[in-house]
Chain A
Amino acid sequence: MAEEKKKKKMCIIVSKGTLDAAYPPLILASTAASMDWEVHLFFTFYGLDIINKKKNKSLKVAPIANPAMPMPVPNIIGMLPGMTAMATMMMKRMMKKGNVPSIEELINMCREMGVRFYGCQMTMDVMGISEEDLIPVDACLGAAGYLDIASDADVNLFI
């Protein structure tokens, strides 16, 4: 009799809180979940903004010091008030046009498919974020707790 195959497992440390940096971990997580993988996301430092209810609807992308913008903005212009809002609006519009789901939609799909979310307890303490500030998470962990989960993963990423 064939033995039940062990599920593949992916763990990602999500450390950045800009709009552009929020996409890769959520796309990979939802896709892996759709491939029947077990997925764990550990949100730390600015990455916590992605699961912070007060902040995750207003993630931004900054044009300053960002030569990869689709329409390059000289730094001296990028410094002007409103430029970050403009770059963010442009990126959101671009993603919508490409039929890429929003960050909120991706989070919901991840949750629906059983992706596990963790908050970094140390970052939360330092930044004064409580568990109630976050969307429902599976746990708030320290480094050792996360490493214990990640130690036998097939794919481990830091984004």
Chain B
Amino acid sequence: MVEADEVLDTSGLSCPMPVLKAKKAMEKLSPGKVLKIIATDRGSVGDIPAWAKNNGYELVDRGEENGKFIFYVKKPE
């Protein structure tokens, strides 16, 4: 499993909040670091990968934990 440098929990939030919060979190992140995003919004399954691609972030891993969607997004060096 990928090591996360920061964690963002968006549990309970609906579209478009997970990507808006993720954007802010990524801006604070240093290049090369990985943000773990936790979401319960079903739309985030497609939204987070699309959001990452458009920003030029790398989706290094994804999965599910306790019924929540997990994404590991890396900020490019």
By a CB distance below 8 angstroms, the chain A residues around B14 are 98-100
Please tell me if the beta carbons of A36 and B20 are within 8 angstroms of each other in the complex. no
Range, interface on chain B = 10 to 19
Select which of A27, A34, A101 is within 8 A of B23 by beta carbon: A34
In the complex, whether A37 has a CB less than 8 A from a CB of chain B is yes
Select which of B12, B13, B17, B51 is within 8 A of A35 by beta carbon: B51
In the complex, whether B4 has a CB less than 8 A from a CB of chain A is no
In the complex, whether B7 has a CB less than 8 A from a CB of chain A is no
| Distance between Cα atoms of A109 and B14 in the complex (Å) | 15
Q: Summarize A's interface: helix, strand, loop or mixed.
A: loop
| Distance between Cα atoms of A35 and B50 in the complex (Å) | 8
Q: Summarize B's interface: helix, strand, loop or mixed.
A: helix
Q: Which of A50-101 contact B (CB under 8 A)?
A: 98-101
Q: A98-B14, A99-B14, A100-B14 are known contacts. Are A36 and B56 too (CB-CB below 8 A)? A: yes
Q: A35-B50, A35-B51, A113-B23 are known contacts. Are A27 and B16 too (CB-CB below 8 A)? A: yes
Please tell me if the beta carbons of B55 and A31 are within 8 angstroms of each other in the complex. no
By a CB distance below 8 angstroms, the chain B residues around A30 are 16, 20
By a CB distance below 8 angstroms, the chain B residues around A8 are 54
| Distance between Cα atoms of A3 and B27 in the complex (Å) | 22
Q: Which of B18-65 contact A (CB under 8 A)?
A: 19-20, 22-23, 47, 50-51, 54-56
Q: How many residues of A contact B (CB 8 A)?
A: 16
Please tell me if the beta carbons of A31 and B56 are within 8 angstroms of each other in the complex. no
Please tell me if the beta carbons of B16 and A31 are within 8 angstroms of each other in the complex. yes
Please tell me if the beta carbons of B54 and A109 are within 8 angstroms of each other in the complex. no
| Distance between Cα atoms of A15 and B75 in the complex (Å) | 37
Report which B residues bind A (CB closer than 8 A): 12-17, 19-20, 22-23, 47, 50-51, 54-56
Report which A residues bind B (CB closer than 8 A): 5, 8, 27, 30-31, 33-37, 98-101, 109, 113
Q: Report 10 cross-chain contacts, Cβ distance below 8 Å, ordered by A residue.
A: A8-B54, A27-B16, A30-B16, A33-B23, A34-B16, A36-B55, A36-B56, A99-B14, A100-B14, A113-B20
Q: In the complex, given contacts A34-B16, A36-B55, what are 8 additional A-B residue pairs having Cβ atoms less than 8 angstroms apart?
A: A8-B54, A27-B16, A31-B47, A31-B51, A35-B51, A99-B14, A99-B17, A100-B17
